[in-house]
Structure 1
Amino acid sequence: MGGSPSAYLTSGIDDANNDGWLRLTKFVNNQKGYAYISSKFPSTLGALIDFEYKIWRTNISENSGADGIGVFLFDASKSFSLGGYGGSLGYAPKTTTTTTTFGLNGGYIGIGIDEYGNFSNPTEGRVGGPGKKPNSIVLRSVTTNDLQTTNQYLIGVQLQASPTSNLNSVDYNTATITRPTDSEFYRRIKITVMPNAGKYDITVKWRTATNRPDSTILTYQTTEVPPDSLRIGFAASTGALYNYHEIRNLIVTTPGGVSVEKWVDKINAKVGNQLTYTVSVNNLTTSNIANLELSDTIKDGNGNTLILGNDYFNIDSISFINYGKVTNTVMGMTAGEPKTSGFTNPMNFNLNMEANSITTFKISGTIKNITQGGGLLTNVAAIDPSPTGILDEDKTNNISQVTSYILDADFTTNSAIDSDCANPDTGNTFLITVSNTGSENSIAGKTVTLTDTIPISLTVKNITATGWIISNSGNVYTFTRNEALNLGSSYPLIGIEFLPPASGTNAIINSVSVHYDGIEAVSDNNNSQVVLHPKPATSGIYHQ
């Protein structure tokens, strides 16, 4: 990743941990961010590039709505050097009265997702094009050493002319202070780069709602022979006008064969939440196939397959969508009709599919409790094409998994002492801290109880415990409170002043434990202890 300023992952910065996007630009002018995959692949294999994106802005004014995202294939033997920013989308050149930026070094093909329209515009050093075409998908050609021929315009399709509608817009044309949800604005791009007689057939499709099929935007056959090996990258840029540009759920694989993809609607979830898994099975061959086997397994953080109904996770319903392909069938199920009983884990399905089609499953279930293995819930989908009789050369895309993190409070204790050595003259003090080291605030009204069984050899003098309710039965002291404790925070310190015995040879151990009436992410860290050593005997010299 890089740029000016650099692209970055929003997880733990602008978004919750584990649940972010690759942000290529912020809502700021004259930015260019990029990321590319360092692994290279032989050009003879081609590529399938699949990702979701969001392009959005916080206000609608004259200073908003540009420029776009560039997706590119480039010669893996060349050092990486980004093209021009602004309307050149990091791929094409850009010239001004004072500077010239050449196109992407080694660029083979550049695909522009162009909200403002300048990737089609033969200005600022860009070669060819019909002029400004907002809301377009555009292809530009190889990078050359000649500014008169480099990155020429090849083809473009304008999806809508309106600058305000969201129907087929490249970007979200409604001001929002937070990223639009998938129900408000969903865009998923699929770029197929299929080898054909030493060149490429390129197809760009998109999906504008999670429950809609892919729609083909454009197709193009290249005329330039690709280099021996290629890399794939992404860039976005802004100029005087700007947007947020973000991508996620990137899949890069080979075209053809069959594949499976999986998503979950909540990366971070809580006990009681319903999770919805989306599993898409793709037949990317030119043949109808029968008896494709799909298995879907739910596991805990230790890799153990969960037993349904065991108070961890229960499946509520399973349905599948065939997008109007009536011969895309699943044994024992009917498209669009949810199944609500008879579930197993793993879940096994037998599919028949038309050529070049998709079957999508929606699996919904409820989190009942914190799972073993740190509160992780993993769902693994795998397909077995062997019963179909097809040749599936790339088996790396036959398995897909997602993990959700079950968030909750996690109470821990820390015990300390003002001095390791007993002081029978003025006494010692135990210092006890109760903290929430979990991933979620505790719940107000749920009682937190700290229990300290004071060793019987100690005499308690005084207790300081602001906000705690204190009680005792003999030498067992109990401290309770029920206000919420924010994650990363601690309750006021508990101090227990005591007098140790005047003599003794054994160390004294004070152990405490904490209990939370709510659900904890981890329960094996609720205890702590501290050791008090006896006062050393006074040494002396005996004279006869």
Structure 2
Amino acid sequence: MTERIHTPPRAARRVLAVAVSLAALAVLAIPALQTPSASAADLTFPYDNAFDTGQGGVLSGDARIVDGRLRLTDDSRGQAGSWSTADTFPSTLGLDIEFEYAMYSDDPRAGADGLLVYLADGAAEPGIGGTGAALGYACRPESTQGQGPCDTAGIPGGFAAIALDRYGNFSLPINDSGPGVTPDAVVVRGSGDGTDGYRFVANAVAPGRVETDGPTTRTVRVQLLPGDDGELAVSVQLEAGGGMRTVLDGVPLHGAGQAALPPTLRLGFAGATGAHVNVHEIDSLSVRQPADLRVEHDLPRVAAGEHVRYSVTASNVGRNASDPSPLTVDVPDALHDVTWACAASDGGACSAADGTGDVGVDLALDRGASATVTIEGTLDPGATGELVSVATIAPAPHLADADETDNTSRATAVVTASAQLETDKSVEPATGVRPGDHVEYQVVARNRGPATARDVSVVDDLPAALVFVDSADACAAAGQRVTCGDGTDLAPGEERAFRFRALLGEDYRGDGSDVVNVATAASPTDPDGGDPSPGVAIEVVDPDAPGDATVPPGPSAPAASVPERSTAPAADRGGTSNPRGGALAYTGTDDLGIVAAIGGVLVAAGAGCWWVARRRLRADRHEDPAGD
């Protein structure tokens, strides 16, 4: 007999199916509702922490937030405290870490022990190392305070630590690695985990010791630069004497006993006390990725008034790309009508292709990329002294430049002046001059540019027949040399006229062809001297030339006079005129003198005939008295 199987009603089956479906959806939704955990590269840069609260990090041991600072230890014996970022970051980025610290105590005994900044494997849990000599990072042999094999564990997954060691025990041979006690030192130790490792790498005595003046802070800068083969190098600068002093430079972390660089890292601080104490505090943490940008430029030789063209080149010689990288160029004020053009290469880009005035452009610079800005303008004609151009490149906000010494380029060039002067000259009157007359000369200095002509003057050497008389325009004579000048500067295209009077000597005899003089303008900024004026001559009337010529009149008729020779200058016939020539310009009546002479002869002959006829008439009357 077959057993009958009972099944739920159809409606019940439908309800059951819906319930199962809802349950499945609920299970699938649970992961979506959960908060995601921290993972590699979650820590974004720039990273800044003023430690007003403990958010964003993990506190371990005796560490806590006090009055807006991360306090790693109080000035109490046997403490150790640690703080690390909750998030991790890729180890290939490198880091540029800057922070302030305070290390102080009211205890009159020597303070101890010290504090440090460290990196740990991002896969390891945050933790704390040993007290005393371990500074909260390394492992420690409990019985010897730091010498020999460890029996107290250090920070989990420690990769490197850079310490400010007041007491000096961080340089002890912990795990048989270290030179011995070195007080007031900057000390580097390498990787370790549990009671293994934490090898000594390097140390150097700190400038100005490591303690602070009470709670007043000092600044530390640590750079961790990755290499192409997974290595890491560390450099340390410490504030001392009013500036940052380099203590360690490019110390390699790789070597025997050093763990390979893990995929991700975690950043932290630790500090410890032992039998001696100090308060250890951290403040104003700033973390960036390292970059290395540089800018270079030079100025060409420049002359006032001329066109100037120069180039500025910015490049990325570091490991990380930088975008945006602001480039500015303070163009010299003496350059006018300034234009610029930007061109990038090798993976670079310019945010603007061109512009005017001072340069301000953002550059995208991949590793090895560069960009060149070409600047052009006209230098002021009056420019003097030195031309200065200043170019500055800055990394993107999430980066810090590892070498800031080449982020600014200052280029200079001495301005040379190059004016070109020319000279004009004229005289009034130029003709009809007699010995003893005055003449007035005008000399004109004109600047053809391109630079301003400074302190313009004019020199005119007078011929021996002339004597300087006076001037209303700053001209004076020393012997026959007349010098005109009043300190005038002439911009390109400007001119300055000077006038002075001279006397032609009364004993001069000649036509003036030998009374010719040339003026020359000069300026300290005209390197080859001004161009001289053309020679200027005067036409002189000969005072010894014949004047009037008359014929005595007859007894009853007026005398006929010969027209007086004109003293007006001869007309210009294309050469030097002879003052003894005809006074009239050519009018077609050149023979009037001859006609006048013939007329005079005829008049004289007529008068003679009249006189002869009268004598004969008187003789006839005496011979015939009856005729009376």
TM-score (norm 1): 0.43
Q: Which has the higher helix share?
A: 2
Bigger Rg, which one: 2
**Larger relative contact order, structure 1 or 2 (CA cutoff 8 Å, min sep 6):** 1
Q: TM-score, normalised by structure 2?
A: 0.37
